[in-house]
Structure 1
Amino acid sequence: MESKLMADGVLVSNYINGNEKSLEILIVRHKQRIFSFILSKVLDRDIAEDIFQDTFIKVIKTLKRGAYNEEGKFLPWVMRIAHNLVIDHFRRNKRIPTFNNTDEFDIFSVISDEVLNVEKQLIKNQILNDVRGLIDELPDDQKEVLLMRMYRDMSFKEIAENTDVSINTALGRMRYALINLRKLIEKHNIILVN
Structure 2
Amino acid sequence: MKNVNNITDQELIHLYANGEENGLKVLLERYKSKIYTSIYMRVKDEFIAEDIFQETFIKVINTIKSGGYNEEGKFLPWVIRIAYNMVIDYFRKEKRSPTVINNEGYDIFEVMDFADEDAERKLVKKQIDVDLKKLIQLLPDDQKEVLIMRHFCDMSFKDIAEITDVSINTALGRMRYALSNLRRLIEEHNLSFQFN
1:1-194 equivalences in 2 (<5 Å): 2-97=3-98, 102=138, 125-127=164-166, 130-133=169-172, 148-153=179-184
- For residues 147-192 of structure 1, the C-alpha deviation after alignment (integer angstroms, 9 at most, x for no partner) is 64233335789xxxx9xxxxxxxxxxxxxxxxxxxxxxxxxxxxxx
> Higher relative CO (CA 8 A, sep ≥ 6), structure 1 or 2?
2
Q: Is the 8 A contact 1:103 1:153 kept in 2?
A: no
CA shift at 1:69, angstroms? 0.5
- For residues 2-55 of structure 1, the C-alpha deviation after alignment (integer angstroms, 9 at most, x for no partner) is 023311111111111111101000001100000011111111111100000000
DSSP-derived class of the 2:183 partner: coil
Distance 1:101 1:57, change over 3 A: closer
- For residues 77-110 of structure 1, the C-alpha deviation after alignment (integer angstroms, 9 at most, x for no partner) is 0001000000010011111226797469xxx7xx
Q: Is the 8 A contact 1:39 1:45 kept in 2?
A: yes
Task: Give 1:181's aligned residue.
Answer: none
Hey, what's the Cα distance between the residues in 1 that align with 2:179 and 2:185? Answer: 6
Distance 1:77 1:155, change over 3 A: closer
How large is the Cα RMSD of the aligned pairs?
3.4
DSSP-derived class of the 2:71 partner: coil
Q: Is the 8 A contact 1:148 1:154 kept in 2?
A: no
Hey, what's the Cα distance between the residues in 2 that align with 1:149 and 1:19? Answer: 47
Letter in 2 for 1:47: I
What stretches of structure 2 of length at least 5 have no aligned partner?
101-135, 144-163
Q: How many residues are paired up?
A: 134
What stretches of structure 1 of length at least 5 have no aligned partner?
109-124, 137-142, 163-194
Q: TM-score, normalised by structure 2?
A: 0.57
Distance 1:71 1:42, change over 3 A: same
Distance 1:128 1:82, change over 3 A: same
Distance 1:45 1:135, change over 3 A: closer
DSSP-derived class of the 1:69 partner: coil
Q: Is the 8 A contact 2:44 2:98 kept in 1?
A: no
Q: Is the 8 A contact 2:139 2:178 kept in 1?
A: no
Hey, what's the Cα distance between the residues in 2 that align with 1:135 and 1:43? Answer: 20
Larger Rg: 1
Determine what percentage of the aligned residue pairs are the same residue: 42
DSSP-derived class of the 1:95 partner: coil
